[in-house]
Structure 1
């Protein structure tokens, strides 16, 4: 059975894939604008875009009411450690299934880019730190990664040299810039990531910035150019 996602086909035979995971309460369709922007240039005609949909599950900060979520969030403001490691790891396994699906389509692993926003960004970073699957690049926009202890204790080095793009707004009220800096420090100085690129966007709240998206598109073009 195919995994639940919005899929945007390439214009020519696909030789690269971008798998991008949405944030809490959103859906894959909420990030389809990324492929819409890419389609303005023929530089991305060979790229498949996959925007997975999270399962609908009870979320503690939503009074236990079910909503699309990749893992439970017990409380806002605590962005270093979280009790729902099991849910986080289960979703990282799901990321692996999407990667495997693209490989089965004939896409080379080094031309698969995994990204996400907020919770989805946390999945992308977790994949970089914990998965045994090598990918071409990681994109984490305003990531929620409240599993510092688990990441430190269980890291693998498969993606140690994989380029990571982390974008974060300085005015983010949901995942403050201080949390973003802590995540960057964790990956650079404790997990040993050699190509971790931390970028801040003045005045940006918990959303995406046009300059940030342009940088994301440039990274995709750099990692997976037309063959």
Structure 2
């Protein structure tokens, strides 16, 4: 494997993959975090799909006292009225995700057959990367998250992904990323004309079974 690529956990289909889902974990977790979700899907509903779960780099996180953990970017503040994310970290992680997309291309999976997915911090990077990606993707799955560097999106958005299907979901009782903060990101995307499908659930900063069923339905549509 190219040394520049992030280490990954992969789940391969029974026959050669024709689709890929690159799924990014949240702060302090790793690529194994969402591996069990694949077991909850009825994979017969999907084309042969490779699930790629990268491990974020280790970095110091300011809000956790500088403790080093797996993180896609540094979180500078708990104040949701100001910029919380470290722009350099966001750009670095987006470049690493672009390298994973390029590897899927090299393995025969076109951009239009790739979904970028992520939870919390990982969802923020999925949104940032996908909406600036120069070629049309199959879709973006953004769970319990928000749009990072939102003030630059309108200027930097790629025309190719202006109509990409977006699935955003959030817990009504999320104590980590407040529901209203995520909803503002959803409203921003809708105002910019994106094809947003929004879901909310009576949960905290997590996934629930109803959400997993909705994700499966959505993946079946966008990967068809």
Distance 1:79 1:198 in 2: 23
1:196 lines up with 2:196 in the alignment:
yes
The 8 Å contact of residues 78 and 84 in structure 2, kept in 1 or not, is answered as: no
CA deviation vs aligned residue, 1:45-75 (integer Å, no higher than 9, x gap) = 6110000100000010110111000001011
1:44/1:79 CA distance change after superposition, 3 Å: farther
Structure 1 gap ranges (5+): none
Aligned residue in 2 for 1:116: 118
Equivalence map 1:98-113=2 (5 Å)? 98-113=100-115
Aligned residue in 1 for 2:142: 140
Distance 1:41 1:129 in 2: 27
Aligned length: 221
Cα drift, residue 98 of structure 1: 1.0
Deviating more after overlay: 166-175 vs 80-89? 80-89
Distance 1:162 1:133 in 2: 10
1:79/1:135 CA distance change after superposition, 3 Å: farther
| Runs of 4+, deviation exceeding 4 Å | none
Distance 1:124 1:146 in 2: 10
SS at 2:10's partner residue? strand
1:212/1:77 CA distance change after superposition, 3 Å: farther
Structure 2 gap ranges (5+): none
**Structure 1-normalised TM-score?**
0.91
Equivalence map 1:175-194=2 (5 Å)? 175-189=177-191, 191-193=192-194
Cα drift, residue 125 of structure 1: 0.9
1:90 lines up with 2:84 in the alignment:
no
CA deviation vs aligned residue, 1:100-158 (integer Å, no higher than 9, x gap) = 11111111211111100000110111123222232100000001434221223422222
CA RMSD of aligned residues (A): 1.6
Distance 2:176 2:110 in 1: 36
**Structure 2-normalised TM-score?**
0.92
Aligned residue in 2 for 1:31: 34
Pick one of 44, 49, 52 that aligns with 1:50.
52
1:83/1:163 CA distance change after superposition, 3 Å: closer
CA deviation vs aligned residue, 1:6-60 (integer Å, no higher than 9, x gap) = 011111111111110000000010110122223x442346110000100000010
